[in-house]
């Protein structure tokens, strides 16, 4: 997260979900599946307040920490004011329910007064691949104009964690002059990855171009990997990238973003992030640049992602898709816009 500028929409990664077991009171919901446990607070915009693997915390727990979702960039939240986040995205009550078999938790937020966006979150577990699937849908409820945004998932981890990710280019976004953030966080680069070992900096952030659609976080021996739709640097939201890290001195943030594209009036766009964890053996090398870490992280990535290819931003019109998410032809009556200006890309398990 940053306190000075950052857009939404989306590409659904087609992951199949299997039966899960959500239980809740309407506000706090819990789910447990094998080694995973997740708690979600619907009263705080569907914030994930606990995520554990084999009873170890993968994110920093608590109502003021956890994992959450914003449309990016911040500069488009409210005119002349990009902080704090609108309550409709960050801390207002969402309506929570499960699907018919209880396998998916669905959280629906209110319409944001300024952007006219509504966020819906769908959390489920896929037993076939032993991963959590988190799908964020942003709907443009405005009837008169399109919206330009990108999806942005932020999870807060423990200080001292190691973040690492495949790098596509040497892209680096420097914090703007006048920003409260420092120019950049120090990263180590090797032939294929970028590494940041948190050293307790306060108010610093890095921006980089990820290369394979995943970002990893290591704390002690617990490895936590996010897989998302890789984005070409030409399609980043203004002032953002697809992998980012922020440190406050008390926690570290693992942030992944999607492409900055158009959401037409009445259209909804969905973007999925897949979470997976493992515990490294005592014999593993857990140092920056370790081959053991690279291998373990890539083992949690189910398949290679494909770079997002949104329609050029200069296009005056947006074409209605003629196929569904699985590539099947749609009838004329079924060709209502379901994915904005971006084709829905399928990733097989």
Domains and CATH numbers, the chain: 22-334 (2.70.98.10)
With b for 16 or more beta-carbon neighbours within 10 A and e for fewer, the 133-159 pattern comes to bbbbbbbbebeeebbbbbbbbbbbbbb
| Angstrom distance (rounded) from CA 288 to CA 293 | 8
| Angstrom distance (rounded) from CA 216 to CA 286 | 13
pLDDT score recorded for residue 177: 64
Beta strand 162-172 with 188-189 is: unpaired
- List of E strands, 43-103: 47-53, 56-57, 67-72, 95-98
Return the C-alpha torsion angle 318, 324, 327, 330, nearest 10: -90
pLDDT score recorded for residue 176: 64
Kindly report, residue by residue over 42-77, the tens digit of the pLDDT: 999 999 999 999 999 999 999 999 999 999 998 889
Q: Which residues contact 343 (CB under 8 A, 6 or more apart)?
A: 11, 309, 321
Positions in the chain short of pLDDT 50: 2-20, 304-349
Residue 176 is given by DSSP the state: P
pLDDT score recorded for residue 178: 64
Return the number of other C-beta atoms located less than 10 Å from residue 127's C-beta. 14
* Token output for 99: 């699907």
Kindly report, residue by residue over 300-325, the tens digit of the pLDDT: 998 643 333 333 333 333 333 333 33
**8 Å CB contact between 248 and 145:** no
């Amino acid at each position: 997260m940053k306190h000075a500028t950052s857009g939404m929409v989306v590409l659904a990664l087609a992951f199949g979900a299997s039966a899960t077991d959500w239980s809740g009171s309407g506000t706090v919901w819990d789910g447990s599946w094998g080694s995973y446990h997740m708690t979600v607070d619907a009263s705080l915009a569907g914030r994930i307040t606990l995520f554990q693997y084999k009873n170890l915390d993968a994110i920093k727990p608590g109502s003021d920490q956890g994992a959450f979702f914003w449309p990016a960039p911040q500069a488009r939240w409210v005119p002349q004011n990009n902080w704090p986040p609108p309550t409709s995205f960050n801390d207002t009550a969402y309506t929570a329910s499960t699907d018919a078999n209880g396998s998916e938790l669905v959280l629906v937020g209110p319409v944001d007064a300024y952007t006219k966006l509504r966020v819906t979150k769908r959390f489920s577990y896929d037993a076939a691949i032993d991963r959590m699937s988190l799908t964020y849908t942003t709907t443009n409820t405005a009837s008169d104009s399109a919206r330009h945004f990108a999806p942005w998932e932020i999870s807060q981890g423990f200080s001292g964690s190691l973040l690492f990710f495949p790098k596509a280019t040497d892209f680096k976004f420097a914090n703007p002059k006048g920003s409260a953030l420092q120019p950049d966080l120090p990263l180590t680069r090797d032939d294929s990855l970028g590494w940041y070992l948190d050293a307790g900096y306060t108010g610093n952030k890095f921006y980089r171009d990820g290369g394979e659609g995943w970002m990893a976080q290591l704390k002690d021996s617990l490895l936590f990997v996010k897989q998302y739709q890789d984005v070409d640097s030409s399609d980043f939201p203004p002032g953002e990238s697809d992998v980012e890290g922020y440190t406050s001195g008390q926690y570290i943030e693992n942030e992944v973003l999607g492409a900055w594209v158009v959401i037409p009036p009445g259209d909804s766009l969905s973007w999925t992030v897949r979470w997976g964890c493992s515990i490294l053996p005592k014999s593993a090398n857990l140092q920056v640049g370790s081959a053991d870490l690279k291998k373990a992280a890539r083992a949690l990535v189910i398949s290679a992602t494909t770079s997002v290819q949104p329609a050029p931003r200069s296009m005056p019109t947006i074409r209605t898709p003629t196929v569904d998410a699985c590539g099947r032809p749609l009838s004329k009556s079924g060709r209502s816009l379901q994915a904005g200006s971006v084709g829905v890309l399928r990733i097989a398990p």
